[in-house]
Amino acid sequence: MSLALHTFPLRGPIRRGGQAPRIALVGRPGTGKTTLFEAVASTEVRGRSAFDGLLAWRESLVEIGVEQAWLSDLPSLDSLMARDAGEQALADHLLRGVPGLGGVSQPDVLIQVLDATALERELELSQELAMLGRPLVIALNRLDEAGAKGLRINVEELSKRLGAPVVPTIAHMGKGISALFQAALDAARKKLCPLPQPASPHIVASLEALCPLLARPEIDDGLQLPRPLLLMRIAAGDKATLELIERLVPGLPERLASVVADISRRLPRPLAEELHADRHHRAAVLYEAVTRQGHREGRFNWRHALDELFLHPHWGLLGSLAVFGLVLFMVFEVSTAIDRVSSAPLGAWVATWQPASTAGVIGRAVADGMVGLAGIVLPYMLPLVMLLVALEESGVMHRVAFVVDRGFHHIGLHGGVAVPFLLGLGCNVPAITAATQSSSGRERVVAALLITFVPCSARSAIMLAVGGKYLGVGGVLGLFALNLLVIALAGRLLARRYGAAGPGVVQTIPPYALPKWRPLLATTWERTSDIVTIVTPLLVAGSIVLALLEHWHADATVNALLEPVTHWWLGLPPSLGVPILFGVLRKELSLAMVQQALGTPEIGDLLDSVQIATFLIFLTFYVPCVSTFAVMLRTLGKKRAFASVGLSVAVALVLSGAARLLLGAVRMLAG
């Protein structure tokens, strides 16, 4: 999220692409396994199936720091002692992978997702997974709910007894996910397997009678099962395992069944039942060793309260809406107040200079360009950028990004672009810079192109001022709704245009912290420095060109050239060609020049509601400004910068023309 420099400890060779390890999520139903997968998956998830459709799962390539991993969301699993064909297929995949299915091998590391509120029941599966002899990491999920019930779990002791890393997580809030996947990478790299979890001594001693019968090379090579798991399956009477043994060594299952029957006669109950009871007993003993019942959390915890606001699965969106409201307040209250006492008086002072000579006109144009620059930077850009950087430094924006991630997936993006999109409400320039620096690949291009459709403060001001006055509240809401619809549809189309989606992202939810001034100012400068280096020259140059056009009385020529657009297509007076052209400098200039071209500040006297709506739609969607084009030229290159211009002009022409026809037809029918 933050553009500050991040460091990642390298514990071995970096594994990416074809070297990426395979991580499988396993767990009982309702543990939060799928929630965990969806929190980090790519915008495009690949479906897999095998064993004649008995096993189906989803997988995604995921970025974990500077490394990658293939993550699989496997079906829920109650036990490795398969009771149906689906569980048998899943157990076979964990053991041997899927031969012939595109080279899908068995997972390099398993992540078992446990429900901390039902830990005793979950630990039975943990003991079985330990028999696989594969690296295992435990995600102790829903730890917050367990704490609310007064359950205290000793994570270190649980990890010690299982011989596997145990990472506390709250999947639906994104907490602990980054640490979990780093632990999984470490386990895969070091091939750290959990401690054996043998049955009770009397059962182990009883099962020794089966070992001489199984000491055959064909059994080891054909089944490729860890010996403890093989013994457990034979003792439980697993039909699939016995059928495989029959094919390898005909007649052997009958002899094994006879030995199992002899063992059962010497035990208080049949061996299969004794195994189940013993597994339950050992899980209960382990549970008692690592948990204690305490008082329910009663003290107010402001961090928990904020997380409930920002990360709760049901009303966490309210926190994001609160941040959105804060951004709007900054743009339309704080920034406009700063504008009234800074750039507005400066602009009024410059307006008193009315030069007649060409040199004077050029000087006035330079002054207008600098005033326009000040009108962007001082009131609208710096305050908003500093606010959002402060929210990032405090940890709030990371939470907003996590909550909106699934929504952004619908337009082919990740939630990490939430900050650039919010920046775009103030000014598209720093928003595009932030988007291109915080993302890569297809997402980098799509985010930058979509931000050009985000209504900046200038466009929003026109929509609110003109639309509110002449179209009413419904008209203004319709304009903003159309804007959101265009962003959503354009996102889906652009995502298809620019190829395959990038990998998923493991987002980090940092602890809350007070922003520090030095990094705050450094990041703010990083995001706004393009104004000085790139935007200023083009803004001033554009101002000079348009001023000279007016000085040389070329207005009529420009209006005539633009008449096919302004009059024939948009149905507007031809005299509005120059004001529309001036909008490439700043949108506010378009509104001021419209009033000047029409000769009245009450444009409603000369334009009807259909013309006003058409004009606002066109002004909202066509080229944001020369500043935006300049930063796209630097960050995305010439080809994509001009493609952005073409896209915005095409969208503006199509939508405004369609609106003119539709609204005109409605007015005729109503009349």
Tell me if 147 is assigned to some domain: yes
Confidence of residue 314 (pLDDT cuts 50, 70, 90): confident
**Same domain (yes/no): 212, 189:** no
- Torsion angle (degrees, nearest 10) of CA 478, 632, 429, 612: -30
Other residues' Cβ atoms within 10 Å of the Cβ of residue 524: 20
Residue listed under structure tokens 């997968």: 37
Pair (320, 249) in one structural domain? no
Give me the phi and psi of 413, to 5 degrees please: -125, 170
Among 417, 431, 438, 444, CA closest to 502: 444
User: Quick check: is 525 in a domain?
Assistant: yes
Residue 607 reports pLDDT greater than 90: no
Residues 399 and 542 in one domain: yes
- Mapping DSSP onto H, E and C, the string for 477-530 reads HHHHHHHHHHHHHHHHHHHHHCCCCCCEECCCCCCCCCCCHHHHHHHHHHHHHH
> Pick from 267, 291, 318: which residue ends a domain?
267
- Per-residue confidence (pLDDT) for residue 207, from 0 to 100: 87
Domain termination site, one of 171, 197, 223: 197
Report the number of distinct structural domains present in the chain.
3
Query: Does pLDDT of 2 surpass 50?
Result: no
221 and 189 share a domain? no
In this structure, the answer to whether residues 215 and 348 fall within a common structural domain is no
Does residue 256 share a domain with residue 326?
A: no
Residue 176 maps to which CATH number? 3.40.50.300
If 0-12 CB within 10 Å is exposed, 13-18 middle and 19+ buried, where does residue 269 land?
exposed
Reported as a single tens digit per residue, the pLDDT across 540-552 is 776 787 778 778 8
Phi then psi dihedrals of residue 67, to 5 deg: -110, 175
Question: Mean pLDDT, to the nearest integer, of 288-293?
Answer: 89
pLDDT for residue 500: 65
Give the residue from 479, 392, 480, 409 showing the smallest Cα distance to 446. Answer: 409
120 strand-pairing partners = none
Query: Is residue 280 in some structural domain?
Result: no
* Residue ranges with strand state E in 116-186: 136-141, 151-153, 166-168
pLDDT confidence of residue 5 = 43
Q: Once rounded to an integer, what is the mean pLDDT over residues 88-104? A: 69
pLDDT at 317: 83
What does each C-alpha distance from 242 to 169, 343, 418 come to in angstroms?
Answer: 39, 84, 55
**pLDDT, position 168:** 95
- Assign 3-class secondary structure to 64-99: ECCEEEEEEECCCCCCCCCCCHHHHHHHHHHHHCCC
Alpha-carbon distance values, 129 to 98, 226, 264, 466, 468 (Å)? 18, 11, 25, 66, 64
Highest mean predicted confidence (pLDDT) among 227-241, 287-301, 507-521: 507-521
Model-level pTM greater than 0.85? no
More reliable by pLDDT, 474 or 530: 474
**Domain region containing 99:** 17-197
pLDDT at 628 over 50: yes
The yes-or-no verdict on residue 235 having pLDDT over 70 is yes
Q: Same domain for 624 and 535?
A: yes
User: Could you give the percent of the chain with pLDDT greater than 70?
Assistant: 90
For residue 416, pLDDT beyond 80: no
Q: Residue 6 pLDDT more than 70?
A: no
Which pLDDT score, from 0 to 100, does residue 164 have? Answer: 94
| Average pLDDT value over all residues in the chain | 83
Same domain for 230 and 173, yes or no, is no
Is 291 within the bounds of a domain? no
User: Around 106, how many Cα atoms within 13 Å sit in the side-chain half-sphere?
Assistant: 16
Supply the pLDDT for residue 349: 84
Same domain membership, residue 257 and residue 116: no
Residue that is last in its domain, among 145, 171, 197:
197
Q: Tell me the helices (H) and strands (E) count for the chain, helix number first.
A: 34, 10
Question: In the 8-state DSSP scheme, what is residue 105?
Answer: P
Share of the chain above pLDDT 90, in %: 20
Q: Residue 330: inside a domain, yes or no?
A: yes
pLDDT in tens, 477-524: 889 899 989 998 998 888 888 766 667 778 888 889 999 999 899 888
Note the pLDDT of residue 326: 87
Same domain, yes or no: 571 and 592: yes
Look at 189-198, 379-388, 655-664 and tell me which has the smallest mean pLDDT.
379-388
Let me know whether 125 and 25 are in one domain.
yes
* pLDDT band for position 297 (cuts 50, 70, 90): low
Residue 4 confidence (pLDDT): 42
Whether 511 maps to a domain, the answer reads no
Does the residue 394 lie in any domain? yes
Q: Mean pLDDT lowest for which of 99-108, 208-217, 258-267, 462-471?
A: 99-108
Residue 315 pLDDT > 70: yes
Where does residue 665 rank: exposed (0-12), middle (13-18), buried (19+ CB within 10 A)? exposed
For every residue of 373-387, DSSP letters joined together read: HHHHIIIIIHHHHHH
Instruction: Please tell me the distance from the alpha carbon of residue 619 to that of residue 73, in angstroms, as a whole number.
Output: 46
Bridge partner list, 167: 139
Q: Give pLDDT tens digits for 360-408.
A: 888 988 887 787 677 767 777 788 888 888 988 998 988 888 888 878 8
List all residues 6 or more positions away from 139 whose beta carbon is below 8 Å from its beta carbon: 36, 111, 112, 113, 114, 167, 169, 171, 176, 180
Q: What is the pLDDT of residues 421-464, one digit of tens each?
A: 888 887 788 888 888 877 777 788 888 899 989 888 778 877 87
Any domain includes 296: no
220 and 192 belong to one structural domain: no
